Structure 1
Amino acid sequence: MSEGQAATPRIDAEAREAPAREVRPDRARLVGIGLMCATVAFFSCLDASAKGLALAGVDPLMTTFMRYAVSVAMISLFVNPVTTPSVVHSRRLGLQIARSLLLFGSTALNFLALRHLQLAETISIQFAAPLTVALLAGPLLGEWSSRSRLVAIGVGFLGVLVIVRPGLGAVHPAALFSLGNVLCYALYVITTRKLAAYDSTATTMFYSGLAGLALMTPLLPWIWTTPSAWTVWALLVGIGLLGTVGHWLLVLAHARAPANVLAPFIYTQLLWSVLLGFFLFGDVPSHWTLLGAMIVVGSGLYLLAQETMRRERRPAA
């Protein structure tokens, strides 16, 4: 998912505090699942808003700027150098900047793709992000995949080819933006995992939108057009709110339930995308899109099952 696939910031400390709450473990998991479903609903609404703005003639780069301007403003109310002086100190500043730029690239490419593609098409392609992470984790993190996992990854990428059908002229060339989004997002996930060993959650959150905002601000004279309708203003501000609240719900969900319990519910975003695309834009996904989506989702669920079994077999420390 565009925003929903965002790797959860380092939430281990908050997750460790979860058992201390006066909530039964089974109830906490149900609450976590509910929060995850709400998260993907927020991210689906964000994508639908971005597509609506693009159809209204708003430059996707202007939408990207507003996404980060609102997000940075909201986060700064709670995490800033005044309330938390140590938040600006990063042990890997270069990696923080690279992560922020990757997040910006992922968002901008997604918004550019939504200008031409259906919501169901973009999210189906973006479901390949976990497969890309699993593939790149070997050379970049030393987490090499087994032969069976590599086969599953290959099958998942075949699902993406079913959706895109290169050379057949069936899908708009903007699908390349979605593929670029997948690559940026996978690298964003990997840099987030690397930073977890060096910086706190607050520091990583503080830097998340800054590079994108700094990059976009000088471009405003060329991309800015003052909206003439209040609905456009509402959507522009709403995109930032949806993204920020969505990531907050994601953290809350992971503080209450393990990642392997929550991960399958990420795929409910496909249902939201199909429904919103149909009711808001009259889009009906093709049978190729749905078939490719099922292949990609199936591969992702297989990788998740393999990871769950691997952890269960791991001896207790």
Structure 2
Amino acid sequence: MTGALLSFSAMAVSIRALAETLSVIEILAVRSGLGLAVMATLAAARADLRSTIFTRQIPLHFFRNIVHLASQYVWATSLLLLPLATVFALEFTAPAWPLLLAVPVLGERLTASRIGAVVLGLIGMLVILRPGFTTFQPAALLVLLAALGFANTLIMTKKLTRTDTNFAIIFWMNLIQLPLALIGSDPLFVTQLDLGQLPAVLGIGISGLASHYCLANAFRAGDATVVVPLDFLRIPLIAVVGWWLYGEPLDIFVFAGAALIIAGILWNLRSEAARAVAPIDAKKRR
């Protein structure tokens, strides 16, 4: 989980560093290109991984990655316009949307804890944005749009995991997103980079893969009720990074709003865990 936390922070810093030379879509092309190179190398070296690449879900992969690329674009753009802590705090509204979307898309039930998580998420969002009490920042809408896009991506990923491996999902993510990102890029954008930006280039490439890998392994190794709260450490971590590197103020309203959003997510997470255990206990009593 520590690797995931560091990867998300490194990604944000790398995007800001590369934005001095490249456009956002070109930065995403760099990320996808390096990611694809690593995934292709692993597939070539290991037959067990290579055999998992083939999929019958090509249309769903394409749609998922179009939505994901667009969401990454607006999220990365918001990093250049807002304090890092504000972006990361608002991004945590993303888990609230799948709770609603899972009802019509996956046929799941809408429970009291799910409704509560959404309500607390919306209240937390209002605390962070404080409409009417401070100058509204339109860029905040980009983060909320990205969160909604990531929520849709999460729902589609959940569908894909029924038939495809994590390796296949990430491989197709980079394979599909690279040409899409290149369409909007300057054909010679790579020539604009210099050796001084090599750490940022490696940072965006490595963090893009490491964040997925570390988070997936954290969930595989530990219970979600333990892993998810640790993921919330992203907010204070990125707040310190923003203050240290960019002189961004530590806003108490961002932390207060984030606390409400997190409370809603934890409430639903624990309720879902309790519901999953109940049938098992009932069987044991029989």
Q: Could you state the TM-score of these two structures normalised by the residue count of structure 1?
A: 0.81
CA deviation profile, 1:187-232 (whole Å, cap 9, x unmatched): 1110011111222333222211222111112222278363454232
The aligned counterpart of 1:156 is 121
Residues 228 and 311 of structure 1, relative CA distance in 2, 3 Å threshold: closer
Counterpart for residue 104 of structure 2: 139
Q: CA 1:223–1:212 in structure 2 vs 1: closer, same or farther (change >3 Å)? A: farther
2:30 to 62, 66, 71: 66
Q: CA deviation at 1:88?
A: 4.2
Counterpart in the other structure of 1:310: 275
| CA shift for structure 1 position 256 | 1.7
Distance 1:86 1:225, change over 3 A: closer
The residue that corresponds to 1:24 in the other structure is none
Q: Is the 8 A contact 2:55 2:164 kept in 1?
A: yes
Report the more deviating stretch, 93-102 or 195-204: 195-204
Q: For residue 294 of structure 1, what is the aligned residue in structure 2?
A: 259
Contact kept, 8 Å, 2:3 with 2:210, in 1: the verdict is no
Q: Is the 8 A contact 2:25 2:184 kept in 1?
A: no
Residue 80 (structure 2) aligns with? 115
Which residue in 1 is equivalent to 2:160? 195
Give, as a single letter, the amino acid of the residue that structure 2 aligns with 1:100: N
Distance in 1 between the 2:118 and 2:258 partners? 14
| Equivalent in the alignment of 1:130 | 95
State how many pairs are aligned. Answer: 281
* Pair 1:261-2:198 in alignment: no
Identity over aligned pairs, percent: 26
Separation in 1, partners of 2:55, 2:248: 45
Instruction: Name the counterpart of 1:9.
Output: none
Query: What's the CA shift for 1:251?
Result: 2.7
Partner Cα separation in structure 2 for residue 144 and residue 308 of structure 1: 14
Summarize the Cα distance change of 1:82–1:252 in structure 2 as closer, same or farther, 3 Å threshold.
closer
In the alignment, structure 1 segments of 5+ residues that lack a partner are 1-35
Structure 2's unaligned 5+ residue stretches are: none
| Change in CA separation of 1:253 and 1:148 when aligned onto 2, cut-off 3 Å | closer
Check if 1:217 corresponds to 2:182: yes
Aligned letter for 1:104?
L
Give the counterpart letter for 1:294 in structure 2: A
Q: Which amino acid aligns with 2:214?
A: L
Give the RMSD, CA atoms, in angstroms.
2.3
Residues 62 and 300 (structure 1), Cα distance of their counterparts in 2 relative to 1, 3 Å cut: same
* One-letter amino acid of the structure 1 residue matched with residue 116 of structure 2: V
CA contact (8 A) 1:104 1:209 kept: no
Deviates most, 167-176 or 42-51: 167-176
